[in-house]
Chains A and B, each alone.
Chain A
């Protein structure tokens, strides 16, 4: 009976801390602004560079004027006709000086001159335009190869059709349904890389942003001394947990809003352009995202809480949190190798190791099938280490948070952990 009452009292204190921390973050103007404007900023960041790079590269719509030095050679004529046939505007001149002046007064972009080795050179004041260069190269080399084939008595048309590359479509097998779905080969590799990268970056950002905010909050309570008052009311464990869960909840809220925005954005985008994302963003993937996000967050949140309690100021906290930062960066570095080979030993190891598993497991899940036993072990290890780290963090918190004016040393840790 008494114990029950006690538990109830403790629970309500944890939830008081949780509610306060949650409200403190969510009711801030900056949180509301970032949550609403964030997706638009993100979209702008992704769209603007890709739009501008498209316009500078792809010029297939326009008619480009090119000069050619006519020297009476059959090859030159063949190049000229071939270019004209594929929609180029050709200016045919017999002296190079007038071609040069045409380039400088912008009536043509450049001109071709046959060299002594049976090929052509391209002269322009802007040789950096890759689109023009590669389009010209294509036409010129086709003409030259056809010419060589013809000289050997072969039919260029026949040879080209025989040389045409064949594609190798890949099919993703799924154990659940007895069907093999074609994942179309073109671009699918890129998307396969991008989707896990998106998930991993989401987790990475969330942990970094919100984990550090837990650490900062602990450090500031410690340096502003309010922690003495708080600890006279709440057990250190409850204070730490309330903080972690409160901040985690606000993080989940913000990222749910963002993912909601992203889903609406993508569905609108595909409605207007007919473009679909060729990877199954199944509801299950989002469940996994949610679960691993939360677990990863709690783990790193506890770490940052401990680090915050052990540090003197934010700068000191930054130094102490390097190991965790490293654990966050490693999966990002290996993400392309993991997503292209989701069952390699490295991928399996990193998806089981608790400090990297949230990100890596998601990458593997999106990329292919993960054996249930690995999922189970990974989750159990993660939950187990969350429990351990929270216990440890609460201990460090309990002792470290009251020590001010003294720099943290690893040797001290041992004596802190021995504290009852």
Chain B
């Protein structure tokens, strides 16, 4: 279990990169650290890896503070990818594995296994610069997991990958999760986070603004709307009890509801009214809020309150 408690970090006097951040990440779960650019994701990851030291707060692994040896238990795929361009694939992988304390024999066996897994075996003796961007990215992913790390950081692992490669990688990440590793996943693309994360930590301006599992978040930040698709005139929809407003686009109507409306009762009411108005309802959907919508609603409020503070000063 990886635990951060009240961690803060400032650069210089004015810039607080991370402010009083606390969260835990359990084994066998994918924790998404999401937020816009500059939210403090990279700083957080670098502090966990002991590249930079926090100004205050503690970071512990299984209740104990991090030691130099724990560095070997971390695998890191940084957002900005880079490998020695002039070197051979196998040499770079061997070096990075050796830096994590993997013996040469182990490293060679694992390199062969992973290259085969990603269908890259024939590139073993080629130079990095001859690889395509997607291939180089897979090689870098291999370097992240070669040493069998307990904690895996993946910073935007899917960017630049084609759909087939993305699915390949997704399958591998699911495997890593089933093997009981702690997986921290950072992205600013909310759709990607929705696909693979069990737990979401949302950061903005260095502060945690959301912490919970996806289902909880959706429930909590549901914006109470349903979408109805019907053949015929749907103008009756706005007269149904509990509907605040209706947005029409073609045959699709998005209904914003009042707070205490039960979606099932609403459906029954709509079905009755539709019959009266000679309409056929072909689709009825309760809208779950996207992470994107949740983020915009929270971050939007935050930035508003900040502006207000600015004016007070």
Contact = CB atoms under 8 A, between A and B. Distances in A.
A232 B71 contact: yes
Given A6-B68, A402-B52, A229 B80 contact: no
Nearest to A228: B78
Given A225-B78, A226-B84, A231-B51, A16 B98 contact: yes
Nearest to A242: B99
A402 B85 contact: no
A133 interface: no
Contacts of B87: 24
B76 A229 contact: yes
Interface string B21-57: 0000000000000000000000000100101110000
Nearest to A15: B98
A153 B284 CA distance: 139
Interface in B132-153: 140, 143
A344 B136 CA distance: 60
A261 B70 CA distance: 48
Contacts of B51: 228, 231-232, 236, 398, 402
A5 B69 CA distance: 9
A229 B96 contact: yes
B82 interface: yes
Contacts of A415: 12
Q: Interface size bucket, B side?
A: 20 to 34
Contacts of B117: none
Interface in B55-100: 67-69, 71-72, 74-76, 78, 80-85, 87, 95-96, 98-100
Given A12-B101, A17-B99, A402-B51, A229 B84 contact: no
B83 A233 contact: no
Interface in B97-112: 98-101
Contacts of B85: 224
Contacts of A232: 49, 51, 71, 74-76
Nearest to B68: A6
Contact of B99 (A5, A221, A225, A234): A234
B81 A225 contact: yes
B87, B98, B101 interface centre (most CB from chain A within 10 Å): B98
A251 to B, nearest CB: 20
Given A20-B95, A232-B49, A402-B46, A225 B69 contact: no
B45 to A, nearest CB: 9
Nearest to A17: B99
A229 B68 CA distance: 15
A365 B46 CA distance: 50
Contact of A10 (B68, B76, B84): B68
B16 to A, nearest CB: 15
A402 B11 CA distance: 12
Contacts of B143: 229
Interface residues of A, number: 30
Contacts of B69: 5-6, 9
A230 to B, nearest CB: 7
A23 to B, nearest CB: 9
A316 interface: no
Nearest to A418: B12
A420 interface: yes
A221 B74 CA distance: 20
A13 B46 contact: no
A24, A228, A234 interface centre (most CB from chain B within 10 Å): A228
A235 interface: yes
B82 to A, nearest CB: 3
A228 B80 CA distance: 9
A333 B168 CA distance: 64
A234 B95 CA distance: 12
B25 to A, nearest CB: 17
A225 B100 contact: no
Contact of B100 (A6, A233, A402): A233
B67 A6 contact: yes
B71 A229 contact: no
Contacts of A236: 51
A16 B78 contact: no
Contacts of B52: 398-399, 402, 419
Nearest to A401: B51
B172 to A, nearest CB: 18
Nearest to A230: B99
B53 A16 contact: no
Contacts of A226: 82-84
Interface string A252-291: 0000000000000000000000000000000000000000
B23 to A, nearest CB: 20
Contacts of A234: 71, 99
Nearest to B144: A229
Interface string A402-420: 1000000000000100011
Q: Which 8 residue pairs across A and B have the least CB separation, nearest first? A: A225-B82, A224-B82, A233-B99, A228-B78, A232-B76, A225-B80, A226-B82, A231-B51
Interface of A: 5-6, 9-10, 12-13, 16-17, 20, 24, 221, 224-236, 398-399, 402, 415, 419-420
Given A13-B101, A230-B99, A232-B74, 19 more contacts: A6-B68, A6-B69, A9-B68, A9-B101, A16-B95, A16-B99, A20-B95, A24-B87, A221-B82, A225-B80, A226-B82, A227-B82, A229-B76, A229-B143, A233-B96, A234-B71, A399-B52, A402-B46, A419-B52
20 contacts: A6-B67, A10-B68, A12-B101, A17-B99, A20-B95, A20-B98, A221-B82, A225-B80, A225-B81, A228-B76, A228-B78, A229-B143, A232-B49, A232-B74, A233-B72, A398-B52, A402-B46, A402-B51, A402-B52, A420-B53
Interface of B: 12, 46, 49, 51-53, 67-69, 71-72, 74-76, 78, 80-85, 87, 95-96, 98-101, 140, 143
